[in-house]
Amino acid sequence: MTERTARGRWHVDLHHDDVNRYPGMAFVLRHVCGLDKETGVALADEAQRHGTARVLSCDTRDDAERIVAEIQLLGVRATVSVASEDAG
């Protein structure tokens, strides 16, 4: 992953897994990201249906990595990705 460019955005992506269920994933997203229960459940559903769901975007890589680390500490799989126009 390259360093953030001036126009770049860093994304937090939630991943489907066979362990966590919607209520648990929604709780983690509420606790870490401040999302409401309905949004958390919708994102968990999207992750299950499509493999990943974009939770939010951050201005810096450090912010995105901090949020991903907090999500992962609570047992939910998440990763950082860079906006496609900034990749490469």
The residue written with tokens 């999207």 in the block is 46
The pLDDT of residue 3 is above 50: no
52-58 vs 10-15, strand pairing mode: antiparallel
Ordered by start, the domain boundaries in the chain are 18-86
Residue 73: partners with Cβ closer than 8 Å, 6 or more residues away? none
- Terminal CA-CA length for the chain: 8
Look up tokens 């201005």; give the residue: 59
Residue found by looking up tokens 């901090």 in the block? 66
Backbone angles phi, psi at 14, to 5 degrees: -90, 140
pLDDT class for 84, splitting at 50, 70, 90? confident
Percent of the chain past pLDDT 90, that is, above it, reads 76
Residue 6 scores a pLDDT above 50: no
Q: What is the pLDDT of residues 40-78, one digit of tens each?
A: 999 999 999 999 999 999 999 999 999 999 999 999 999
Question: Mean of the pLDDT values across residues 12-36?
Answer: 94
